[in-house]
Amino acid sequence: MSSAITTDISFCQQLLKEGQLVAIPTETVYGLAANAFDKKAVKKIFEMKGRPFFNPLIVHIHSLEQLKDLTECIPDNALKLANAFWPGPLTLILPKGDKVPDIITAGKSTVGVRMPNHPLMLALLKGLPFPLAAPSANPFTRVSPTSAAHVADYFGNRIPAILDGGDCRIGLESTIVGFDNGKPMVYRKGGISIEAIEAVVGPVDLMTEDDTAPQAPGMLSKHYSPRTPLIVTENVSEILNDYRSKKIGVLSFSKIDFPDATVVKALSPKGNLEEAAQSLFASLHALDSAGLDVIVAERFPEEGLGRSINDRLRRAQN
Ligand code: TXA
Ligand code: MG
């Protein structure tokens, strides 16, 4: 099978209704989607990604109306966040409704739900009588895809279709927020900054790496990894000095002038964190294909989306 990169929404809807997998665009990263109410179809997602069954999936919806099929009750703070950020890069962890198959939630009593903000994905969802379960469309532990070409590189001949929605506008996975007796807790830093969440619901707790292990097993410390060794540092020039005579790729925030590097990817020459986030994974994909000995990544300022970028870089270290 060779997968069609297509913009034909009804073709993709047909495949999904038949229980097949389709790669879909969102504003964050591309996803690997199946009918959320079809256990057999959802199982194919885990098999295709090589993802352990203990790691739950996010369910994608196009309207608040669809929440009724997925959850029994919505905490007030969850509704506030949904109203503020949906459609958008926010996933809410809600008490699971009976209709949601256990394979999606890995047997947990909660379900992750998100309304993505991408016109093709929303049009696809609106024409389907079911929501779509979708993790990021990368093999387990690898860098997430932010273009149809990235998905084709990973799964090209193994999935029937890739819906091409262009380059992802946000470029980082959604921010995941759960609730402990109604109090919001951030499970994964992502495309919406902690500051923006706190402006809506007040101070939030951040899940530490130790907490995350049992709660959100997908947040394994090694994740988002290129095959090329990657080092994160405050001082790129010092590491360049240590690795002289090696082929080095530099991933910097804004600086482009590193004379000892073989390749330099500056994520935002004008120093804008949103722009940097947007090109992070595409730059990692490009550096990983450049035949380098090592990738040296500059640590970002710990503010706004810089915190989410640092989270991904830390997990990409290998
Ligand atoms: O932006 C995104 O969120 C993308 C696009 C495709 O929507 N999706 C995505 O899915 O990043 P995935 O599967 O790569 O990451 C989902 C994360 C995993 O870390 C998983 O453990 C966590 O969400 N998760 C899902 N359901 C959960 C639940 N009920 N409780 C705790 N964590 C959950
Ligand atoms: Mg993922």
CA 245 – ligand 2 centroid, Å = 35
Ligand 1 pocket mutation pick from 118, 121, 136 by most atoms within 8 angstroms of CB: 136
In a domain, 65, yes or no: yes
Question: What are the phi and psi torsion angles at 84 (to 5°)?
Answer: -75, -35
Calpha distance 161→20 (Å, rounded): 9
User: Is the domain of 138 the same as that of 272?
Assistant: no
Q: Look up residue 116 and give its amino acid.
A: P
- The answer for 19, left when phi > 0, alpha when psi is -120 to 50, beta otherwise, is left
- Going by C-alpha positions, the residue among 92, 85, 88, 41 that lies closest to residue 67 is 92
- The tokens describing 162, both together, are 């890739």
The pLDDT value recorded for residue 252 is: 98
Are 197 and 242 members of one domain?
no
Q: Is residue 277 part of a domain?
A: yes
Establish if 224 belongs to a structural domain.
no
Looking at the structure, do residues 182 and 34 belong to the same domain, yes or no?
yes
In a domain, 69, yes or no: yes
- Stated pTM of the model: 0.95
Q: Please check whether residues 127 and 258 belong to one and the same domain.
A: no
Query: Does residue 46 line the site of ligand 1, with CB under 6 A?
Result: no
Which CATH number do you get for residue 273?
3.40.50.11030
**CA distance linking residue 297 with residue 226, whole number of Å:** 12
Cα-flanking dihedrals φ and ψ of residue 93, to 5°?
Answer: -95, 115
Q: How far apart are CA 147 and CA 149, in angstroms?
A: 5
The environment of the single-atom ion ligand 2, i.e. residues with CB closer than 5 A, is 136
Please name which of 208, 296, 215 lies closest in space to residue 248, comparing C-alpha atoms.
Answer: 296
| Co-location of 113 and 16 in the same domain | yes
Range of the domain at 236: 230-316
Please work out whether the CB of residue 110 comes within 6 Å of at least one atom of ligand 1: yes
Using the mean position of ligand 1's atoms as its centre, give its distance from the Cα of residue 5 in Å.
24
Query: What is the per-residue pLDDT for 214?
Result: 46
**Cβ–Cβ under 8 Å, residues 130 and 36:** yes
Given this model, what pLDDT does residue 208 score? 76
Count of structural domains, the chain: 2
Same domain as 257, residue 148? no
Residues 6+ apart with CB under 8 A from 131: 36, 37, 59, 60, 61, 66, 69, 70, 125
215 and 250 in a single domain? The answer is: no
From 162, 184, 219, the end of a domain falls on 219
**What gap in Å lies between CA 188 and CA 208, rounded to an integer?**
10
User: CATH code at 95?
Assistant: 3.90.870.10
Q: Which atom of ligand 1 is nearest to the CA of 136?
A: 14
Would you state the torsion angle of the CA atoms of residues 312, 174, 93, 222, taken in this order, to the nearest 10 degrees?
A: -20
Q: Are residues 10 and 119 in the same domain?
A: yes
Q: How far is the CA of 291 from the centre of ligand 1 (A)?
A: 31
What's the pLDDT at 127? 98
Is 236 found in the same domain as 214? no
In the reported structure, the alpha carbon of residue 262 is separated from the centroid of ligand 1 by a whole-number distance in angstroms of: 35
Q: Rounded to an integer, what distance in angstroms lies between the CA atom of residue 89 and that of residue 98?
A: 26
Tell me which of 48, 62, 173 to substitute to probe ligand 1's pocket, judged by most ligand atoms within 8 Å of the beta carbon. Answer: 173
Would 284 be classed as within a structural domain? yes
Domain boundary among 219, 254, 269: 219
Query: Could you tell me if 154 and 196 lie in one domain?
Result: yes
Intervals of the chain under pLDDT 70: 1-2, 209-223
Which of 175, 194, 219 is the endpoint of a domain? 219
Is residue 162 located within the same domain as residue 182? yes
Same domain membership, residue 145 and residue 32: yes
Nearest CA owner, ligand 1 atom 13? 135
In a domain, 264, yes or no: yes
